[in-house]
Structure 1
C-alpha cells in the first residue's frame, strides 16, 4: 500500500488528476436559497457569484472523518496526509484538525495557507511523494515544504462580494470608499487575503498581476494556474503573457475559480496561483 492524500474541493484539481494521483476530495458547501449543495458533487448554478443570498460553508468534521477513515483503509494503514484550504479563509482546516484526532498520528493535517490551485499544488506535492514510496513522514514533509514555495494573487473587479464575505482581512478599511478600484490582492504568508496594490483600471490591474507573478517566479521553474470567474478572455490573456515572459514554466493551466471562491470574489475576478519547483 501507500500513503494516501486527502484535500477539499477548493483545490481545483481535475477529475483526471484526482484519479491519477489517488487523491481523495472532500466537498465544500454552497448554500443557495437554504439548499445545501456540495461542490464537485451536486449540480451548481453557473451564476452563483451574481446572487445576493448565497453563502458558503466548509467541510464538516464528520465528512472529513469519513474521508480520512476511507483513505486510511485504502493506505493499508500507511497513513494519510490531508491538505486543506487556508485556515484564515475557511473553517475547513479547524474541522480537519478536529476530525484527525480520532486517528492519532496516522492522519497529518497541513494548512496550505492558500486557495484554489494553491491548495492543489501542495496536495500534488504530497501525492507525488506518496507515489514515489515515501513514508508518512516523507509525504507530510513534502506537503509542508511546498507551502512556502507557493504564492497566490487575485484581481477583483467587483467589491460587493468581498464586503459580504468578511474574508478581506487587513484590506477591509478601504473597501467602504474604494468603489472605483480594481484591487490587486494576495494571500500573505499566513494565508490571509490582503491588499497588494490599489489600481484604478482592470487592464492596469492585470498588468500589475503579471508583473508580480514574474517577479516572484524569477528564473525558477514553476507551475502556474490562472483562475477566473466568468472572464475567460482576460484569463487567457494573462496566461499567454506569463507563458511569453516565463519560458521556463513547467506547466500553465487556465481554469475557472470554482463556485465556492467565486461567491466571495465576484464576476470578472482573475487569480494566479504559483508553485515554484523544488530546489
Structure 2
C-alpha cells in the first residue's frame, strides 16, 4: 500500500496489463459482455480471442457496471485498509461507467475522486498508470487529483482499423459511412476528441497506406517530444512487426511501456485487424 493509503480504481476498458495491475494493486471494475442471456466479465472469463473466434456469426453487446457493483468494490477496497479512492474511467462520451462511479462515490463515507479521462482504451490506461506510479513515489491524494486534471491533455490514442463494420453495428458511425468505406477500401485512423468521443483523424485507401498513416499521425502529434508509448493489438498480429519497427525508427526519444492485446469489450466495438498506439507525454 502507498503512503497516501489511496487506491486506484479503473474500469477494464482502460486496458491496463495484468502485470501492472498486480504490481500497483490496482482495483478493476469489470465491464460486461453479453451473448444473449449469458453475461461475462471483461478480462476475467472472456478475452478478445474468444470474441474474434465467434465473429461474425455472433456479435455480443456490452454493458457498464452499475452503482451496486461499484459500491461492492469500494467496500472491498476499504476492507483492505485504504482510506481514499481515485476512480479512473474511460470517456463518459463512450461509456456510462464514469456516471456510475461518480454517483456511487457520492454515497461513500471516505474521500473519493471520480476522474473522466475523456479517452478510451490505453489512452485512459496511461493516465491511470501515471497516477499509480505517482502514489507509489509518495504523492498525496490531492497532488495526484490535481495532477490528473493537468495531465489529461497529455494523453491520446490512435487506432488503425481494418473495417468500419463493427463501429457501425455499435452505433458509433452511420451505416452510410460504413458502406462507402467498405466500397472504397478505406482504412480509418480514429482517436478521441476533447469531448471524449470518437473522431476520424483520416481515411486512407488500402492497408499498407493505412498503417503508414497511423505512424505519420503519431509523428504529427508527438514531433520530437519525449513520451511513453503503448502498442495495442486487436487481432492485428500480422501488423505488429511493421508498427514496432516504425515506432523504434521514428521515435527514438520515446519509451514503449505497454505492448498487449486490447480488451474483449474494445474488440466488440472495433472488430478484427486493429492496431493502436497510445501516447502520454512525460
TM above 0.5, yes or no, is: yes
**Displacement, 1:250?**
2.3
Q: TM-score, normalised by structure 2?
A: 0.90
Give the distance between the partners of 2:48 and 2:201, measured in 1 at CA: 31
Give the distance between the partners of 1:128 and 1:215, measured in 2 at CA: 28
Give the distance between the partners of 2:248 and 2:193, measured in 1 at CA: 24
- How many residue pairs get matched? 274
Give the distance between the partners of 1:238 and 1:87, measured in 2 at CA: 30
Instruction: Give yes or no for contact 1:125–1:146 (8 Å, CA) kept in 2.
Output: no
Instruction: Give yes or no for contact 2:43–2:264 (8 Å, CA) kept in 1.
Output: no
Match in the other structure for 1:67: 73
Structure 1 unaligned spans of 5+: none
Instruction: Give yes or no for contact 1:236–1:254 (8 Å, CA) kept in 2.
Output: no
Runs of 4+ in 1 over 4 A off after TM superposition: none
What are the superposed Cα offsets for residues 215-237 of structure 1, whole Å, 9 maximum, x if unpaired? 21122211111112211121231
* Superposition pairs of residues 1-279 of structure 1, within 5 angstroms: 1=3, 2-44=5-47, 46-49=49-52, 50-51=55-56, 52-77=58-83, 79-103=84-108, 106-168=111-173, 174-179=177-182, 180-277=185-282
**Which one is further off, 147-156 or 96-105?**
96-105
Structure 1 residues 214 and 32 mapped into 2: Cα distance closer, same or farther (>3 Å)?
Answer: same
**Displacement, 1:275?**
0.7
**SS of equivalent to 1:255:** strand
**Displacement, 1:252?**
4.3
Give the distance between the partners of 2:101 and 2:238, measured in 1 at CA: 36
**SS of equivalent to 1:138:** helix
Give the distance between the partners of 2:189 and 2:18, measured in 1 at CA: 30
Give the distance between the partners of 1:145 and 1:259, measured in 2 at CA: 30
Instruction: Give yes or no for contact 2:159–2:190 (8 Å, CA) kept in 1.
Output: yes
Report the aligned-residue RMSD: 1.9
